Chains A and B, each alone.
Chain A
Amino acid sequence: MGKLYDMLKKDVRYQEALKACINCGTCSAICPAASFYCYDPLEIMEIVQSQNETQLEELLKSDKIWYCGECLSCSTRCPRGNTPGLLIMALRKLSQDTGLFVESEKGRQQLALKRAIGDNIVRTGYCIYIDTMKPERHPESGPVYEWIYNNRDEVMKRMGANYKGDGPGPMRNIPQETLDEIKKIFDLSGGTELFENIEKYSEQKAKEMGLQFDETTDCEYFNEIFTKTTKKHTL
């Protein structure tokens, strides 16, 4: 065993996910991602079981570990109680800890997710928040969402929400002391470190790719990873 495998083994989800795979392929048969992307969860299970350090490093650098949608349908169907989706989550964490995620197009998208979802949690207490979900980034949300977004003060009030209000209720302002506690939890539990790693490795990659990089969601690198597909990923 090598260094990467040792790191992977420490993740409790690896221990939960991979017990006694019999390579039957049921996970691949049930997987929605395998019916859309060039993706085969059984292949991931086999590489990890091989404990081959070179193959594992290649896997962590590849797009393959980023195709799963984490629906966890594989968990229900595996006849031996394995969960390839959970193993994928452990691999993704390792890929980010080691900086290898920036070597693949799908892996590089983690910066967009960190800035869109991760930062929201610490700044607002919500994973998603209407103020940051602009209709131009979500044309699929349709004209009704555009109307909601443009009139969100009124619409939220009409719905009985406590939008930006104090006290309990949907869409309330989450108090600053709560956000301070969340930030401290992130600092002490590795959440802030993961955020910083994603930013650091992404900035290095942007430089290597010759793309302008800053802290906004409108820099060249962000737009590249958020909107573009430069190779064929699908079946």
Chain B
Amino acid sequence: MIIEGKQRIWADYQKEIADDHYFYVRSCIRQNFFPASEVTFWKIIRDYVHKDIFENEHHSSCSGIGYHSDVVPFTTTQAVVARQFALMTENGYKNLTSSCITSFGVYSEVLETWKNFPEELERTRDILYKATKREFEVPENVAHTSDLIFKYRNQINDMAKYRLVNVKTGEPLNGVEHIGCHYAKMFPSKGVGGAEHPYVLAGMIESWGGRVVDYPERRACCGFGFRQYFVQANRGYSVACTKRKFESMEPYKPDFILTNCPGCPYFLDRWQYVIAEMEGKTYGENGYGIPVLTYEELAGLVLGIDPWDLGLQMHQVSVEPLLDKMGISYDPVKKYLGVDNKNIGQPTCPSVLKV
């Protein structure tokens, strides 16, 4: 193999990620279900890798979940996205980073549409100005927040207190990575590794000492499906898709699942509870489930942040089996306490899934 040729082939799978000065837009789902992940992300970017990141309180939902539930027209979504860009421009930023994968896909789609249909861009500028008197520049760089953790993965490893290694056996832990569909399936050039060889999460696992598990349904959707989950009558679709993934990964005995979409960890976590209740089936060891983590949570564990400060008590599947394998010390008594150790009760136990 000629090295230059190999490098040229793989050049198509690289993605430019801005070095500093990020305008941050939040994720509706991550804020509701994994708020500590967003808090941890800020801590890592500001306090550990010392980069400038900024949030404007006036930004909003990008409307992407509504767009993909088909109740928000594309014209409206373009204008809501343009408003986020206007806030970025007004605050002197050129690099946008999004916590949400649906949003990231929407930003990518809107920017591609404006390239191919300049009249859509002009119409959007007109609507935004009439509605808000705001104007905007398109971002120079758009990155998902997992791109940033990927970019700084080796720095994080240099500061690591724990690694993805079984402390009892010395063997690397087996990690399943699950990439959100809207990260790169529609616009492969927007993701690290494209749609065929996504490396954004695999790179983190490898840098932090783990082993990436390949399995047949690795690239399949988690089954969220927007209307397929939000409408109760459709949820069979969602759980069926997720179950197919679990059945496919089970023989490889994963120690954890790592995700970059805010929705996927929720479904991969909660459907394990549902499958256990419905069919008595669990996918982890000894009646437990397979712990499902956000990349912020995994980076936080590697850096030695307390698991309960990372919000791991908000998961239905217990993360303790993974903490034990990594040799992380934690106080089980503090798991469900509120601020200042206030007693706010505990969740009831599922009837099948061990917690």
List residues of A whose CB falls within 8 A of some B CB: 11-13, 15-16, 32-33, 35-37, 66, 69-73, 75-76, 83, 89, 92-93, 96, 106, 109-110, 112-114, 116-118, 121, 125-130, 133, 137, 140-148, 150-151, 154-161, 163, 166-172, 174-175, 177-179, 181-182, 184-191, 194-195, 198, 225-229, 234
Contacts and interface: CB of A to CB of B under 8 A. Distances in A.
A145 B316 contact: yes
A179 B59 CA distance: 10
Contact of B60 (A182, A189, A194, A228): A182
Contacts of A147: 336, 345-348
B76 interface: yes
Contacts of B231: 109, 112-113, 225-226
A120 to B, nearest CB: 8
Given A121-B63, A140-B239, A189 B273 contact: no
Contacts of A161: 31, 35-36, 39
Contacts of A118: 66, 69, 71-72
A189 B66 contact: no
B257 to A, nearest CB: 17
A75 B185 contact: yes
A20 B123 CA distance: 28
B113 A155 contact: no
Contacts of B244: 35
Contact of B83 (A72, A110, A185): A185
Nearest to A105: B233
Contact of A92 (B26, B60, B70, B232): B70
B73 interface: yes
A168 B57 contact: yes
Given A75-B186, A117-B71, A126-B32, A143 B348 contact: yes
Interface residues of B, number: 94
29 contacts: A32-B223, A71-B181, A72-B181, A76-B186, A76-B188, A109-B231, A117-B69, A118-B69, A121-B63, A128-B65, A144-B313, A144-B347, A147-B347, A151-B344, A151-B345, A154-B344, A160-B36, A160-B39, A161-B39, A170-B31, A171-B35, A177-B58, A182-B83, A185-B79, A185-B128, A189-B75, A194-B72, A227-B232, A234-B236
Contact of A93 (B70, B105, B223, B270): B70
B339 A158 contact: yes
Interface string B157-193: 0000000000000000000000001100110100000
A139 to B, nearest CB: 8
Contacts of A154: 338-339, 342, 344
A154 B346 CA distance: 13
Contact of A32 (B28, B32, B241): B241
B232 A226 contact: yes
Contacts of A92: 70
The CB with the most chain B CB atoms within 10 A, among A66, A116, A191, A226, is that of A191
Task: List 3 tightest A-B contacts by C-beta distance, closest first.
Answer: A69-B225, A191-B76, A127-B65
Given A69-B237, A73-B185, A113 B76 contact: no
Given A113-B227, A121-B72, A188-B79, 4 more contacts: A16-B116, A76-B188, A117-B71, A158-B337
Given A121-B66, A140-B271, A127 B28 contact: yes
A228 B30 CA distance: 29
B224 interface: yes
B29 A13 contact: no
A37 to B, nearest CB: 7
A36 B229 CA distance: 14
B91 to A, nearest CB: 12
B113 to A, nearest CB: 6
B71 A69 contact: no
B209 to A, nearest CB: 27
